[in-house]
Amino acid sequence: MRTAILFTMCAGMFLVQLDVTVVNVALPTLGSELHADVPQLQWVVVGYSVVLAALLLTGGALGDVLGHRGVVLTGLGVFGAASAACGLAQSAGWLVASRAVQGVGAALLLPGTMAVISGAFPGRTERARALGIWAGISALALPAGPLLGGILVQTAGWRPVFWLNIPIVAAAAVATRRLVPRDVRKPGRVDVPGAATAALALGSAVYAVIAGTPWVGLLAVAAAVAFVVVERRSAAPMLPLPLLRSRQAAGANLVSAAMNFVGLGSVLVFTLYLQDVLHADPIAAAAALLPMFVPMVLLGPVSGRLTARFGPRPQIVTGLLLGAAAMLNLLRIGPGTGYWTLLPTLFVLSIGMGLLTAAVVTAAVSDAPDERAGIAGGINNAARQAGGALGVAVFGAVAGEPGARGSFVHGLHLLGFVSGGLWVVAAVLAVVTVQRRVRGKRLEPTG
């Protein structure tokens, strides 16, 4: 029974992670069919991640108030309906809107599945083991996304990339209704003003970068200030600001944002480079991207063990410096170079991120009280999603249209230089803010 619950929740989380990467390899094809330019393709990616980042903490709060079983079922329904709408899209705007609704479903699923597993496995050791399986299966979505997307796009077109979600969602919903017991609702309120101002701030920032409109950037700043004011005055804030007073937590969340800023931004431009500049077909492009994902998945458990033994700082600093070197390798790419020049960037960046992921989560939650470790983990996850959304916006804007091969390659050079510098700065920040050892507590994975 409990094992069945675990793998049902893993299916929901797998879909959330899968849709972060599966769409990337389909971008050139759907861009051609829907007559979408690079800014529109960026919104296909960030429309999902912006909403997910903005509503992630709200999704967890809704589960606490309304019951996590019901929230998971709602998340599955929203995600499945939005996936069907994505597959039926007749324009780029339709697809972007449907992706945003997918993000709503994902924001309900991610914290909800974790909470259901925590309830099914109350013992500390068994819960850690179950959440480790949950995190491991969700990590498999990273390499599976591009490969599955490439096969589907080349053999059946881009629409089945989204329709594939529907039978999985249906099966997971039926299993959730049958297996997961109703949980007791807790008294409380959901921070709607906080969620609204967070979504406005992040969405405006991404729009300002993609569209190049400074006045929207000012709106993003104003919304961010309003979010802080709202959270300070709220009786039940979405983001408890005292958790950010820890120097280590603040540093770890900034590092997490920088990590996904470069990681997810790179996936977008590398996919466009492989298919539109090197003219690889979708399956070949997907296979070419595997060195960017497989080492990261394999190193996740190793990083967790190293962090437990040596503390998070050595893994964070090493991972950031490796990633910086990987991105600086982009300066070697020229109009006449090919995949083998890009390969060291893919492989070494993946190793760096594999060392980083478990360590930054550990650093982010280790200063939080035990009863708030889950919220601290949710804040870190939101920081990563927000950083990824901004990364896709910035990387796409800097690289530009891949059809202009010379300027696109020049954009890759600039991105490599800036990204390398950003990760070196993040490494210095980690040295200053992150402790050598966590404070004597065993931490559970947060996804």
In the 3-class helix/strand/coil scheme, how is the chain assigned residue by residue? CHHHHHHHHHHHHHHHHHHHHCCHHHHHHHHHHHCCCHHHHHHHHHHHHHHHHHHHHHHHHHHHHHCHHHHHHHHHHHHHHHHHHHHCCCCHHHHHHHHHHHHHHHHHHHHHHHHHHHHHCCCHHHHHHHHHHHHHHHHHHHHHHHHHHHHHHHHHCCCHHHHCHHHHHHHHHHHHHHHCCCCCCCCCCCCHHHHHHHHHHHHHHHHHHHHCCHHHHHHHHHHHHHHHHHHHHCCCCCCCHHHHHCHHHHHHHHHHHHHHHHHHHHHHHHHHHHHHHCCCCHHHHHHHHHHHCHHHHHHHHHHHHHHHHHCHHHHHHHHHHHHHHHHHHHHHCCCCCCHHHHHHHHHHHHHHHHHHHHHHHHHHHCCCCHHHHHHHHHHHHHHHHHHHHHHHHHHHHHHCCCCCHHHHHHHHHHHHHHHHHHHHHHHHHHHHHCCCCCCCCCCCCCC
The per-residue pLDDT for 127 is: 67
The per-residue pLDDT for 445 is: 40
- Quote the CA–CA distance of 390 and 247 in Å, as a whole number: 23
The residue whose two tokens read 């809704």 is 62
The per-residue pLDDT for 436 is: 66
- Quote the CA–CA distance of 305 and 101 in Å, as a whole number: 37
Q: Are 143 and 286 in contact (CB under 8 A)?
A: no
228-259 per-residue burial string, b: 16 or more CB within 10 A, e: under 16: eebbeebeebbbbeebeebebbbbbbbbbbbb
Q: Are 76 and 173 in contact (CB under 8 A)?
A: yes
The answer, as to whether pTM is greater than 0.95, is no
The residue whose two tokens read 């992040």 is 202
Q: Are 7 and 121 in contact (CB under 8 A)?
A: no
- Quote the CA–CA distance of 177 and 32 in Å, as a whole number: 41
Q: Which fold, 246-447?
A: Growth Hormone; Chain: A; (1.20.1250)
pLDDT in tens, the chain (447 residues): 788 888 888 887 788 778 877 888 888 888 889 998 888 888 998 889 888 888 888 888 788 778 888 989 999 999 999 999 999 999 999 999 999 999 999 989 888 887 788 778 777 667 657 766 776 677 777 778 888 888 888 888 899 989 988 998 999 999 999 888 887 666 667 788 888 898 899 889 888 888 888 889 999 999 999 999 998 888 778 788 887 788 888 999 999 999 999 998 998 899 899 998 898 998 898 899 999 988 888 887 787 778 878 888 999 999 999 999 999 999 999 877 889 999 999 999 999 998 888 788 788 877 776 556 667 777 888 888 889 889 988 999 999 888 888 899 999 999 999 999 999 999 999 999 987 665 544 444 444
Torsion region of 35: left, alpha or beta (phi above 0 gives left; psi -120 to 50 gives alpha): left
Contacts (Cβ under 8 Å, ≥6 apart) of 26: 149, 152, 153, 158, 161, 282
Phi, psi of 36, rounded to the nearest 5 degrees: -100, 135
- Quote the CA–CA distance of 95 and 43 in Å, as a whole number: 9
Instruction: Tell me the two tokens of residue 272.
Output: 């466009």
Residue 155, number of CB atoms within 10 A of its CB: 10
CB-side neighbour CA atoms (13 Å) of 250: 11
CATH class of 1-188: mainly alpha
Instruction: Tell me the two tokens of residue 225.
Output: 């200030």
Contacts (Cβ under 8 Å, ≥6 apart) of 53: 202, 382, 385, 386, 388, 389
- Quote the CA–CA distance of 59 and 312 in Å, as a whole number: 28
- Quote the CA–CA distance of 43 and 41 in Å, as a whole number: 5
- Quote the CA–CA distance of 210 and 43 in Å, as a whole number: 8
For residue 177, give the amino acid letter.
R
The per-residue pLDDT for 24 is: 80
The per-residue pLDDT for 447 is: 40
Instruction: Tell me the two tokens of residue 263.
Output: 């990681």
The per-residue pLDDT for 347 is: 95
The residue whose two tokens read 């959330």 is 16
- Quote the CA–CA distance of 169 and 89 in Å, as a whole number: 19
Contacts (Cβ under 8 Å, ≥6 apart) of 333: 341, 342, 409, 412, 413
Nearest 5°: the CA angle 68, 71, 73 is 110
